[in-house]
Structure 1
Amino acid sequence: MPGKLVIAIGAMLLAANGAAAQVPTAAATVAELSNSACYALASGAVAMPAGPDALDRTIKTVESFGLSFGVPNDATAQGPAVTTLISRATLGSKTLPDGQILFADGGAAGCRIILLADPRPDLTDAVAAGLAAGGWRAIPEMTATRGTIERRAFLRRDKAGTPYLLNLMTVIGQPGRLRLFTTVARIPPNVTLPAGY
């Protein structure tokens, strides 16, 4: 009996170590943060604290998303597109084995999740699958490529039926590590949506 107990405890420790060692992919993290943090901010479920004495609360809000407050010093060295995406915003970041995630809320375009990574052919599809699993519905009619940017649009409604738009923007064939980013915003009531959405 003691031998079986040792084996059982050993198996539990191995399982716990295996579970702890699993790190989410950058694509899964982009989708998860778009589904949770950006959607919560766009829908008003979470408000980014503001005001002269809000720094501690702002840091706690960013950290509640599983991010570190601020971005690494080399983030703006990734080129003017990255600098534009993170300018005048509340920032958070997370470094994963296969990429670096930047979170920016405020400034231009509301909430953005930015992925800096090496090129991978399945990256956009992996993020899109994570978005669909999180309740976003792809709008194929709004998928387009212009120059070096591919746009995929997704729609999601809250419990009251208010629609939200998520843009998944993939940077194609450009030097640097900017691979893709998402934006999330509430769709104004006067905007006509494609039939069936």
Structure 2
Amino acid sequence: MIELVFIRHGQGEHTLDLPHSLHTKDPALTENGIIQAELIRNQFPLSEKDVIIISPIRRTLQTVEIWSRGIDCRKIVSPLVSPRMFPLKPKGQTLPCDKLFTKEKIKDGFSDCEIEEKTINEYWSNGINTVSEQEFKVIAEKFLNWCKQTCKSRIYVVSHDGTITSYRQFISGKKLTRNDFPKETDWIIMKY
């Protein structure tokens, strides 16, 4: 059994003027988001033994960059924790604020992060935002089993409200709603 600590990224620019700001391309953390990321350092002090899985989006990468500053822990970027629509809307489309970074952009801007290479390229292109519930269940099981193989005790996952809620619903088997979304830099600890 592994302990998963799901942490939502700090406040992003895409949340400042809803719903219009959701069309912001590549939003960064706000000043408040930077402060929130710094506060995670107090809640979850890191060591070199820790492993963090990160969504390939600027705001999650920045959150981890600030949180892990000065600690040489393992940071792995994976599209399997990228933004996910919750609940899934038929014919829903990925918004500009949720477009994934390319592997090259991650290597250029966040060079201390590893790229998770075993994931098929389709997910690196399109993410998991609009995959069907059936496909997500397969993805979730593979991802969680990969987490168990990667780390034997605790693993951190820095992601998004809909993604975290989707994984929580999968792990717990309980029906969740948007009311269950974590706030910025909130965390949920689960065992799998």
Q: Point out which structure has higher relative CO (alpha carbons under 8 A, 6+ apart).
A: 2
TM-score in terms of structure 2 length:
0.25
Structure (1 or 2) with the greater helix fraction: 2
Report which of the two structures shows the higher radius of gyration computed on alpha carbons: 1
